[in-house]
Amino acid sequence: MTTAIDRTVLLDQTVAARAPWSAVVRAGQTLTIVDLQGNQAVDCLLYNADDTSERYSAPDTIAAQRNIFLTTGSVLRSGEGRPLMTVVADQVGRHDTVGGACSRESNSLRYGHHTKHQHACVENFLIEGSRWGLGKRDLVSNINWYMNVPVDPDGSLGIVDGISAPGLSLTLRAEMNVLVLVSNCPQINNPCNGFDPTPVRMIITG
């Protein structure tokens, strides 16, 4: 199989800790996300770049693969059941689909009123999405790359220490023209970022 390193690099950017990022990945191109320092959650939303009313659906993705976790071979599907992107390589082995994105409201509820003014992933999505004409109504349940959210037999879940490490990566192949929105998670109140948000690297190849 052709790997990202064998392909032409079209974009190579480092996303600062706590920052948003977005780009269109054309059909057949790949996006590699590198966890530069390890244990950094990367919240992600996907849209059909040619019609953003079609977007990533966690329920359709989970139902089709019959697994709540994402790894190599996972197909990320839209609400129409169509493939948006496929995970073609994964050095970590398990990524979250159910933990959601942190927000000022959820921070206040979970961690106390003193966190109300802390920057969060929902704000990152709104800031970056506005560049593409997207608003709050366009936000859906997101993917959390590198976030460790185990589910117990009784259905309870928790956000715990990550299983990634410095330099580990995953690669996604676009199955159509896809708008990718990312929040390099700014959360400092739980272990999803090791209580210390760090940069990640985004590489588009084609």
In this prediction the pTM is 0.91
Residues 47-70 have pLDDT tens digits of 999 999 999 999 999 999 999 999
Confidence of residue 2 (pLDDT cuts 50, 70, 90): very low
Mean per-residue pLDDT of the chain: 91
Q: How far is CA 12 from the centre of its chain?
A: 17
Helix (H, G, I), strand (E, B) or coil at 111: helix
Q: Is the Cβ–Cβ distance between 101 and 191 less than 8 Å? A: no
User: Which pLDDT does position 104 carry in this prediction?
Assistant: 63
Of residues 179, 170, 200, the one with CA closest to residue 96: 170
Residues 164-202 have pLDDT tens digits of 999 999 999 999 999 999 999 998 767 788 889 999 999
Residues 6-30 have pLDDT tens digits of 689 999 999 999 999 999 999 999 9
204 sits in which H/E element: strand 200-205
Q: Which residues is 183 bridged to in the sheet?
A: 20, 43
Confidence of residue 145 (pLDDT cuts 50, 70, 90): very high
User: Which pLDDT does position 97 carry in this prediction?
Assistant: 96
Q: Is the Cβ–Cβ distance between 149 and 41 less than 8 Å? A: no
